[in-house]
Chains A and B, each alone.
Chain A
Amino acid sequence: MTDPVWLIILVIGAGTFFWRGAFLVFGGHLTLPTVVRRGLNYVPPAAFAALVLPGLVQFDGATGSVDEARLLAGLVAGLVAWRSRSTLWTLAAGMGVLWLLRALL
């Protein structure tokens, strides 16, 4: 238990339990300020986009060019996610296109 990462995990775990338990366990009666509730609506699109895009748009360190296979695979997977709303189909499309392009290019 000496790795500092354990401490980070424990703090995130404790904080997440506090969110989960705030009204279930601790029986709090606080109401969230309006600005917080409005902002919460935009956490999923903003956080997920910030996490997705750097994984799809990857630059080659030497030439600075974009990895086209990942970008294309990401675009196809995004289209599939939009049409199917299915995680499994999104994964299958993204990995399938990536492997296909790697084999062809």
Chain B
Amino acid sequence: MLAAVTPFGVAAGLAGLEVGLSPEITLGMSVIIFAGASQLAAIQLIDANAAAPIIVITALLINLRMLMYSAHLGPHFSDLPLRWRGPMAYLLTDQAYALTISRFMVDEPPAHNHWFYMGVGAPLWVIWQLATAFGFWAGAALPASWELGFFVPLIFLALLVPAIRNRPSFVAAAVAGSLSVLGRNLPAGLGLTSAALAGIVAGMAAEQWWSDD
């Protein structure tokens, strides 16, 4: 699992370097935001000179799934003191959620789940920071002709493919992807964000359409 997040962190470091962000800002994103897909999206939008509200809205939209994780995990940990729940919230990731919630899905959940959660979340955080720093360093050290920036769309491709699980999600991806290519020259990152929103609406419409048959 730690090996699986490493390339995302490396991509976040590489992407920051590619668009000319300082190492402080690139690493600061990994500490302050600590959510890979939204960091990469924000970096692309910063590069496109997007307006600040567009960047914030897009990143928070991508991270909205954390709200569902929080809603799912929250009741299981409501007895813990705040000095536990605060850091736990900060360390909430796809991986920490997925591995921890599966422990509650059995008839008699095991004890010490907060320690288990921290055992996933804390090492992941350390790996994330190291991988970001390594990506920034490697991108600067290796020649531009290697096109390491191609890492970033490949990372999103590895996220996209398993996200296409049925016909409506394929429609969402197809609409958002094609509009994003068509709107690539729109100012202020509007192309990317409006394409994603149109894809979400198309996916919901497709779900409605096929459920009516």
- Residues of chain A touching chain B, judged by Cβ–Cβ distance below 8 Å, are 3-13, 15-17, 19-25, 27-28, 32, 35, 37-57, 70, 73-74, 77-78, 81-82, 85-88, 90-91, 94-95, 98-99, 102
Question: For chain A, what secondary structure do more than half of its interface residues adopt (helix, strand, loop), or is it mixed?
Answer: helix
Q: Which of chain B's residues have a CB closer than 8 A to the CB of A42? A: 168-169, 172, 199-200, 202-204
A15, B193: Cα distance in complex, Å: 18
Q: A17-B90, A25-B82, A47-B37 are in contact. Are A55 and B153 (CB under 8 A)?
A: yes
Question: For chain B, what secondary structure do more than half of its interface residues adopt (helix, strand, loop), or is it mixed?
Answer: helix
Contact between B153 and A74 (Cβ–Cβ < 8 Å)?
A: yes
Other CB < 8 Å A-B pairs besides A48-B156, A48-B163, A95-B154, 13 of them? A5-B25, A8-B52, A12-B59, A25-B86, A32-B71, A42-B199, A45-B176, A54-B180, A73-B150, A81-B162, A85-B162, A91-B154, A95-B151
Q: How many interface residues does chain B have, given as a range?
A: 35 or more
Q: Which of chain A's residues have a CB closer than 8 A to the CB of B77? A: 24
B residues 55-74 in Cβ contact with A at 8 Å: 55-56, 58-74
